[in-house]
Chain A
Amino acid sequence: ETGVTQTPRHLVMGMTNKKSLKCEQHLGHNAMYWYKQSAKKPLELMFVYSLEERVENNSVPSRFSPECPNSSHLFLHLHTLQPEDSALYLCASSQGTGLSSEQFFGPGTRLTVL
């Protein structure tokens, strides 16, 4: 059983659609992350939440809107995306944001924007 779950696993949407990605962690962690993984590019950190407060917004366009209602759940709201936003979106969680706080990743949502 994975400690970090993501839904949906696959999503196809048009550029005018609004959709949301959901992440849930069952590890009792208090930090959560959104990453973007594109082919042949390094993982890109998008957002970080610690104790439900956003501590990092890594120059992400406003068409991506994160929400962290509690320490176990993280959402990524999507609207008016572009085809180049197609990628694997990974959620991760960690016990804290300290130096040795291991990040545990979910399986990702494969997003295709038409």
Chain B
Amino acid sequence: GQQLNQSPQSMFIQEGEDVSMNCTSSSIFNTWLWYKQDPGEGPVLLIALYKAGELTSNGRLTAQFGITRKDSFLNISASIPSDVGIYFCAGLPLGGSNYKLTFGKGTLLTVNP
């Protein structure tokens, strides 16, 4: 089945720094999603991307749907301590069911105040 390669696995940064993480696949995806999971909680959707090349922002977060439809990145600018958590990419593979998300393994972000 399709797999998403998410990197980096973890990041340790200073408050105020910018962060970038990405997901790649060998298969084409027609939707890319980015979620954040806080400790003891379920994932929460941050940004959804539906069109190749699409660049979408949500506050300090920016994500892009790669032009090849096989990758996506998430940037966080001017990080703050509450950005700590696990960030997951997820996608809907081309030709698959509209609800059957494929998830990456996550990027653990730690922000040092």
Q: Is the CB of A56 within 8 A of B97?
A: yes
A103 vs B90: C-alpha distance when bound (angstroms): 11
**How distant is B21 from chain A, measured CB to nearest CB, in Å?**
15
Q: Is the CB of A42 within 8 A of B50?
A: no
* A99-B98 contact given A90-B42, A107-B41, A107-B42, CB 8 Å threshold: yes
Q: Is the CB of A43 within 8 A of B48?
A: no
Q: Is the CB of A42 within 8 A of B97?
A: no
Q: Is the CB of B105 within 8 A of A40?
A: yes
A92 vs B37: C-alpha distance when bound (angstroms): 14
B60 CB within 8 Å of chain A: no
Interface string of A37-49 (1 = CB under 8 A from B): 0001111010010
Contact of A102 among B40, B48, B100, B105 (CB under 8 A): B48
**How distant is B8 from chain A, measured CB to nearest CB, in Å?**
14
**How distant is B41 from chain A, measured CB to nearest CB, in Å?**
5
A107 vs B106: C-alpha distance when bound (angstroms): 17
Contact sample, A vs B, 6 pairs, CB 8 Å cutoff: A4-B42, A42-B88, A42-B102, A42-B104, A43-B88, A103-B99
Q: Please give the residue numbers on chain B whose beta carbons come within 8 Å of chain A beta carbons, in ascending order.
A: 3-4, 30-31, 40-45, 48, 50, 88, 90, 92, 97-106
Q: Please give the residue numbers on chain A whose beta carbons come within 8 Å of chain B beta carbons, in ascending order.
A: 4, 31, 33, 40-43, 45, 48, 56, 90-92, 94, 97-108
